[in-house]
Chains A and B, each alone.
Chain A
């Protein structure tokens, strides 16, 4: 479960997609990537999702990641069609299958996180009429995760520099050394965050405004339509899969 973002994004995203259409496409990638078959309508859905994902990644200049999506899906479909999972090929087929299922989802997750600012997320969630009891903790988590990951690696480094490795001290001691400082830091930073947020009027009940630029453009309608179409085609039209091994 990657917390750090593999798609190293620094600066402004080059394309402007609304967080809501990103989320819709994320759900499409998740559903198709994890659930769809590698033949018939499932394969068609996989191709469609992969092409759109590759275009989105390429638009951000992430050429390598974009290419990796295409390669993984192509190899996945080819292996499924031509390599029956018997004998020596069995572990290979299993591995390729797993990669082809999970990699697009990981890529899409990185894409969503690295191209969306917290304020955009919040503005979008609020437009979806989610209550404050959900949006406030969500904002805190998004703001907090990088800080905590940083604290966690700092604690890990401090332990290493003192030679307190998992082998050198007993597991429960090591666990204590890892978890207690992290928790203490979390609570301390949380208190500061609360004060800062209250000072900026987070507890006011009036409707909040946001400088985050969100809204639907032509690209959004395209992505949204594509996401819904792909899911609909996959769910409603289960073609009979052409069995590659039937003739053998």
Chain B
């Protein structure tokens, strides 16, 4: 009987993890699509996507009961993004970053905001996996093509997509994630806690 009760809460936690993973992916997709309409949002994507996704994540973190839920969420979300045609890099990153985020949040007992915030920043960095192949492909493209084109042409291309942009994007994700954590906490306090969701 005791066994059954335990597996019941375990199943509950697993279903809830699925629900919030779906929510995270839908928010990611809906707001990611805005970038396809407005060009400037494409550039700002690394900043505002983790910002918006902070809402489902922070509410989820407030409801997490067992270690492993954040790990599953990260790996599963990356797997779904992979299924919609993105590169596998994000999946590999998620396999490392999601457990790390889980450990950090657990260190704060899934209660203390500072720990959850750091966990969310670490968690969000897996989004950089989406742009890794773009930069990687371009790098190999440049080195390959540099052999048969004049240096002025190569310079133009390099100037259009400077490699440091990659590092800027990593920082942008971190900044967006910090903002997202605060947004998530604010909305949790204003709406979700009064409604009994957190």
Which one of B25-33, B100-108, B113-121, B169-177 contacts A? B25-33
Which one of A157-165, A183-191, A213-221, A226-234 contacts B? A183-191
Residue of B at shortest CB range from A105?
Answer: B85
Q: Which 9 A-B pairs have the closest CB atoms?
A: A140-B18, A190-B19, A137-B18, A144-B22, A203-B11, A105-B85, A136-B14, A186-B23, A137-B17
Which one of A44-52, A54-62, A65-73, A145-153 contacts B? A145-153
Instruction: Let me know if A96 is at the binding interface, CB within 8 A.
Output: no
Residue of B at shortest CB range from A140?
Answer: B18
- Kindly supply a per-residue 1/0 record for chain B positions 2-31, scoring 1 wherever the CB is within 8 Å of any chain A CB and 0 otherwise: 011001101110111111111101111110
Count residues on chain A whose CB falls below 8 Å from chain B CBs.
56
Show 10 residue pairs from A and B whose CB-CB distance is below 8 angstroms, ordered by the A residue.
Answer: A3-B26, A35-B133, A133-B14, A138-B18, A138-B79, A148-B22, A179-B55, A179-B187, A184-B191, A194-B11
- Measured CA separation A193–B18 after assembly (Å): 11
Q: A183-B192, A184-B197, A187-B19 are in contact. Are A137 and B14 (CB under 8 A)?
A: yes
Q: How many Cβ-Cβ contacts under 8 Å join chain A to chain B? A: 150
Instruction: Let me know if A141 is at the binding interface, CB within 8 A.
Output: yes
Contact B15 A194 (CB under 8 A): yes
Instruction: Let me know if B52 is at the binding interface, CB within 8 A.
Output: yes
Residue of B at shortest CB range from A104?
Answer: B85
Instruction: Let me know if B76 is at the binding interface, CB within 8 A.
Output: yes
